[in-house]
Amino acid sequence: MKNNIIFFSLLVGFFMSCDTDFNINADWEEVTVVFGLLDQSQDKQFIRINKAFLGNESALIMASNSDSINYSPEVLEVKIQRFNQINGNILEEVFLEDTVISKDDGIFASDENIVYFFNTGNFLKEDFSYRIIITNLLSENIVTSETKLINNISLMSAFNNPAYKMGFYNQLGDYSTTTVEWNHASNASIYQVTLFLNYTEYAQDTLQKTIYKVFPSIKYSGNSELNQQIDGEDFFNFIENNIEADPLVTARRINDVDLLFSAASSEFETYINLNKPPTGIVQERPVFTNINNGIGLFSSRYNKLQENILLTSTTKEAISNQFTDLKFIFP
C-alpha cells in the first residue's frame, strides 16, 4: 500500500493536446487514451488504455457505458520493447495481458475497468529506453510512445547504521529537526517524501496501525544531493491531528517510522502541473501528451522504501507526556 499512496487519475473526455489540436466537430476518428508509468521497483506494471468518445448522446450517458470508453481486449495488441537508445536495436519485448480491476463508482463506467499488465521480472533495466506499441488489429491504427527509466535512488549512509534513530525532541526539552538525504537519480525531475508512523493500539483487539504525511514535492535543480527537513513541532502536530482519543483504547505504543522516497520524470512532472486545479479566471488549459497518434502519458517513476526506522527515546517519551489523552505508553 505504501508504494501506492499517491493515486493519479486519467480523465477521459474531450482533450486539447499541447502538440495536436483535437477538433470535436471533425469527422469520426479513432482517439486512443494511454496512461502508464514504468517503475522497476514494483513487481507488476500496469497500463491503462481507453478510447475517447464522440457521439450524439449525452457525454455523461456515454461515459457510463463501458463500451464507450473501453476497447475489447481481443482488438488490441499491446507490447513494450526495451531498446538500445544509441543504435535503436530492440533487445527484448513483452506482450501485455489484460485484466479487470475494481474501481470506485462515479461518472465513468466501473463494471469493466480494463487495464493491461506484465510481470516486471528482469525486463526493466536502467540505462535503456522503452517503447510501447498499441496496435488495433481491426483498424490497424498504431499508437506509440517512448520513455526512459528513473535510476535507483541512493539514500544517505546513516540508514545502514543499525544504531541510527530519528529524533524530533531533544534532551533540553525542545523540538528538533531531522534531515534525510539522498542522491539524485538519473532521469528524475521531481521528488517527494512520505513519512509513515507505525504504532500498536491496544483495545479489545491488538491492532497495528499507520498514519502518514506527504511532504511537498522537491524539484531537481542540478545538485547531486537532495534533502528533506522534517520539523519536530510539525511531527508532533501530525500525530495530534491524525490520531483521535478513544475511550475503548487502553494503550498505544510507538513502533517505528517508514520513509517512502518517490521520484518522477520530467514528463510526469509536466502532466501533474498541467492537471492541478486552476486558480485563475481562465479555466481552459492544454493537456500534456507524449503519445504518438493518441493522447495521454507514458513515462516513469521510482519508489524506494526505507523501513523500520526507530525513534529516539526522548521523542517517544515526549509523545507520551504531551498526548496523555491518546494513551501512548513509555517505555
Whether 109 is covered by a domain: the verdict is: yes
Asked if residues 120 and 3 have their Cβ atoms less than 8 Å apart, the reply is no
Residues 274 and 294 in one domain: yes
DSSP one-letter string for 167-233? -SB-TTS-B--EEEEEEPPTT--EEEEEEEEEEEEESSSEEEEEEEEEPPPEE--S-SEEEEEE-HH
pLDDT at 3 over 80: no
The rounded mean pLDDT for the chain is 87
User: 162 with 176, same domain?
Assistant: yes
Mean pLDDT of 256-285: 86
Task: Looking at the structure, tell me whether residues 193 and 245 fall in a common domain.
Answer: yes
Q: Per the domain annotation, does 225 fall within a domain?
A: yes
Judged on CB neighbours under 10 Å (0-12, 13-18, 19+), 117 is middle
Residues 92 and 103 in one domain: yes
Task: Residue 67: give the domain boundaries.
Answer: 2-149+265-300
Residue 55 is predicted with a pLDDT of 47
Check whether residue 130 and residue 195 sit in a common domain: no
Verify that 96 and 209 share a domain, yes or no: no
pLDDT exceeds cutoff 60 at 94: yes
Q: How confident is the model at residue 158 (pLDDT cuts 50, 70, 90)?
A: very high
- Residue 9 sits in the same domain as residue 129: yes
Q: What is residue 21's predicted lDDT score, i.e. its pLDDT? A: 42
- Is pLDDT above 50 for 164? yes
Q: What is the pLDDT of residues 194-244, one digit of tens each?
A: 999 999 999 999 999 999 999 999 999 999 999 999 999 999 999 999 999
Q: Considering the domain boundaries, does residue 92 fall inside one?
A: yes
In a domain? residue 205: yes
* 177 & 96 share domain: no
Same domain, 180 and 320: yes
Q: Please indicate, yes or no, whether residues 74 and 50 belong to a single structural domain of this protein.
A: yes
**Whether residue 277 sits in one domain with residue 255:** no
| 30 and 163 both lie in a single domain | no
Strand locations in the chain, DSSP E? 32-38, 44-51, 76-83, 90-95, 97-100, 114-119, 129-136, 142-148, 165-166, 178-183, 190-202, 206-214, 218-219, 225-230, 251-264, 294-311
Split into its structural domains, the chain has a count of 2
Query: Looking at the domain assignment, is residue 236 inside a domain?
Result: yes
> Does a structural domain hold residue 331?
no
pTM to 2 decimal places: 0.85
pLDDT of res. 99: 96
| Res 52: pLDDT | 82
Beta bridge partners of 117: 46, 97
